Amino acid sequence: MQILEQILPYATSFLGAFALTLVLTPLVREMNRRLGMVDKPDPRRINKVPIPRGGGLALVIGVVVSFSIFLGVTGRPAMPGLREGVFWRLGALSVAMAAIGLADDKFSLSPKLKLAGQLAVAFLVWFWAKLGFASLWPDIPAWIDCFLTMCWVAGAVNAFNLIDGLDGLASGLAFIASLGMAGALIFSGSASSALFHFAFAGGLLGFLRYNYNPASVFLGDSGSMFIGFSLAVLPLCSHAPNSFLVSVGVPLLAMGVPIFDTLLAILRRSIRHLMHMGENAAEGQVMTADADHLHHRILRSVGLNQRKAAWILYAIALFFVSVGLVGISLKSRSAGLWLFALAVASVVVFRDMSSVEFFDAGRLLSTVAHAQNVVIRRRVARLSTPLYVMADVMALAITFFIVHCSLFGWPDIREVMTILPVRATCVFVFLVALRAYSTVWSRAMLSNYLRLFVACIMGSAAGTVVLYYLTPYCYERSVFATTFFYAMTFATGVVAVRTVRGIVRDLFYAIDCSRLVGRRDVSRILVYGSGLRYRTFRRELVRRTTENDRIIVGIIDDDLLLRGHYIGGIRVYGTLMEASEIINRVNADSVVIACEISPEWMKVVRDTLAPTGVKVSLFTIKETEVCLTEGDTRKKVD
């Protein structure tokens, strides 16, 4: 009986919002249909028939009115510990946010005007409702608190606005998020603060009855902006013992899918804006809608089945909410769980971004690298040296902390202000003296890297000498033990900075191959030979990333010891005598000979490959002497 009494308020708030929203949604749907607020099919939209939008108005009325009646009848506080009047101010602001969305549903406001309205309401959350992140970090400056609060609220609003592209997706994700936040409050001992969360979840479930596929009404901006606003301000209202995890950690995980999709959209559109700068292309605008949102990609991968796509995203949201709730229950051991969630998210993020954002970034970098515009090339050349200097300064600072923490523990402020500047200055002087910033590192040779190591060692030694004589207190626990350790650690970082270009180039090539591998119009190459010519041939393909219509699918080489090994990420399948079987296995349609062969062996190659019917070509590296007088060239040297 006692348990029933404890559950009853939450069940009442949930069922009240559920019933009212369930009744109001058909009425609002019909009203919006008569007002002409209808989403008609177009190339970017998924719906195939006209469907009324702006149904979120029923959700707003259902949640706000039902919960207000509940508070008036029961006399309970909306949230214990919340200042008097704050909840009603937030209710007014949520209605204002929904009104901005409703105006957009009816009149199609410009993105900039809509964003200005969102930021104005977000500012009032901090200024009028007196909510922000200061409850977590009391010493935070007011202007930073205001900035963070506005970014948090506006970001959540736009996150749910952007993710609302499938039947039932935004409302379903919000339902999971609201219950996840309520669970976090219950697990942390603040169950009384979760009343509105249950009311909000009830309203969402009532609306989901009509919004789930096949939907008869859409949320529209009025509903998605109300959802985003509510989920953003609820964590700011909670006063739980495990405040940071409840107020920031679990909400971030609960809203992880729409937040991730928003960040991807910003990155993707920014890259495309840079690519189309100077062109009057619609896709070049940062705020222009596209069809590459997370739900669009999953929808394409499941054969345009909206229910499957929605349930995949529901499952992802449930996973991260579960991680947050288990993290709260584990308390001191939650860090390991968060690291696990981060690792899983990183894999998902990379796999999802590789086909679109990374590919677009590769196109952008390739465009800049091969730009024929002299002005662009000069700008890139001027930026290279400052970027190397900035990277080296960061490497110097990171090396200092690594070495000091490894040998002596965390440095105090006096050591940071004395040791770090001296070491950085000495190493930087030797880097300049040995021409580290005048070397073209994309074409560097072994001697350039040896010179780099020498500069690091000499700079580190000079820094040790200067510190030993000027600030001997810094070396009471050691003499010159740090010199070699510091030099090697920093040199490793500096070399990594200068080799990252090749790594990035190979990364984009791998992404390009993964994008092309499933296409039928791509030529699949089997390479014969794995030596210098193969590496040169592969490098030529890498340099043409985003323009390729050919991919290497395997290698054959007559060295039996290489069978089964990988060279440049490509597997060696066997020898020339097995070429016919290998061609069928990897479905190759051409063979490139990338090794030096005699005329006699060329005849063997022809006889071996002729029955397969594949195209065969020869890749060579030749030096041709040019005659300065009239006449033909005289000599070719392989």
- CB contact at 8 A, 264 and 361: no
- Distance separating alpha carbons of residues 445 and 515, to the nearest angstrom: 33
The confidence score (pLDDT) of residue 391 equals 80
In the predicted model, what is the mean pLDDT of residues 41-50? 70
Distances (CA, A) of 86 to 102, 221, 252, 629: 24, 25, 23, 91
The confidence score (pLDDT) of residue 631 equals 54
Mean pLDDT, the chain, as a whole number? 80
DSSP string, 124-179: HHHHTS--SGGGT-TTS-HHHHHHHHHHHHHHHHHHHHHH--STTHHHHHHHHHHH
- Cβ burial, residue 118 (10 Å; 0-12/13-18/19+): buried
- Distance separating alpha carbons of residues 103 and 53, to the nearest angstrom: 12
The first and second tokens of residue 520, run together, are: 């039928």
The confidence score (pLDDT) of residue 336 equals 56
Domain ranges of the chain: 2-354, 374-506, 518-624
- Distance separating alpha carbons of residues 372 and 143, to the nearest angstrom: 45
Instruction: Note the Cα 364 to chain centre separation in Å.
Output: 17
CB atoms inside a 10 Å sphere around CB 621: 11
- CB contact at 8 A, 533 and 620: yes
The confidence score (pLDDT) of residue 229 equals 95
The confidence score (pLDDT) of residue 504 equals 65
In the predicted model, what is the mean pLDDT of residues 547-554? 78
CA atoms within 13 A on the CB side of 333: 3
The helix/strand/coil state of 334 is: helix
- Distance separating alpha carbons of residues 256 and 619, to the nearest angstrom: 49
The first and second tokens of residue 636, run together, are: 């070719």
The length of the chain is: 638
Residues 6+ apart with CB under 8 A from 334: 245, 326, 327, 328
Higher pLDDT, 66 or 279: 66
pLDDT band at 26 (very low <50, low <70, confident <90, very high): very high
Q: Is the dihedral of CA 563, 564, 570, 576 positive or negative?
A: positive
The confidence score (pLDDT) of residue 471 equals 65
The hierarchical CATH code for the domain 518-624 is: 3.40.50.720
Instruction: Note the Cα 626 to chain centre separation in Å.
Output: 51
- In the DSSP assignment, the letter for residue 248 is I
In the predicted model, what is the mean pLDDT of residues 374-379? 54
Q: Is the pLDDT of residue 187 over 90?
A: no
| pLDDT tens-digit readout, 193-245 | 889 999 999 999 999 999 998 889 999 999 999 999 999 998 888 665 555 66
Residues 6+ apart with CB under 8 A from 69: 16
pLDDT band at 390 (very low <50, low <70, confident <90, very high): confident
Q: Is the pLDDT of residue 532 over 60?
A: yes
Q: Is the pLDDT of residue 600 over 80?
A: yes
pLDDT band at 636 (very low <50, low <70, confident <90, very high): very low
Alpha-carbon Rg of the chain, whole angstroms? 31
Higher pLDDT, 358 or 324: 324
The confidence score (pLDDT) of residue 405 equals 77
The first and second tokens of residue 599, run together, are: 């005329």
Q: Give CA angle at 120 (144, 198), nearest 5°.
A: 90
Q: Is the pLDDT of residue 637 over 50?
A: no
The confidence score (pLDDT) of residue 281 equals 47
In the predicted model, what is the mean pLDDT of residues 555-561? 90
Phi then psi for 621, rounded to 5 degrees?
A: -120, 115
Distances (CA, A) of 188 to 10, 13, 33, 176, 196: 17, 21, 45, 18, 17
The confidence score (pLDDT) of residue 476 equals 46
Strand arrangement of the beta sheet that strand 523-528 belongs to: 566-567, 570-574, 550-556, 523-528, 590-593, 615-618
Ranked by mean pLDDT, the top range of 272-276, 335-339, 405-409 is 405-409
Residues 6+ apart with CB under 8 A from 491: 452, 453, 456, 457
| pTM of this structure | 0.65
The first and second tokens of residue 624, run together, are: 């041709």
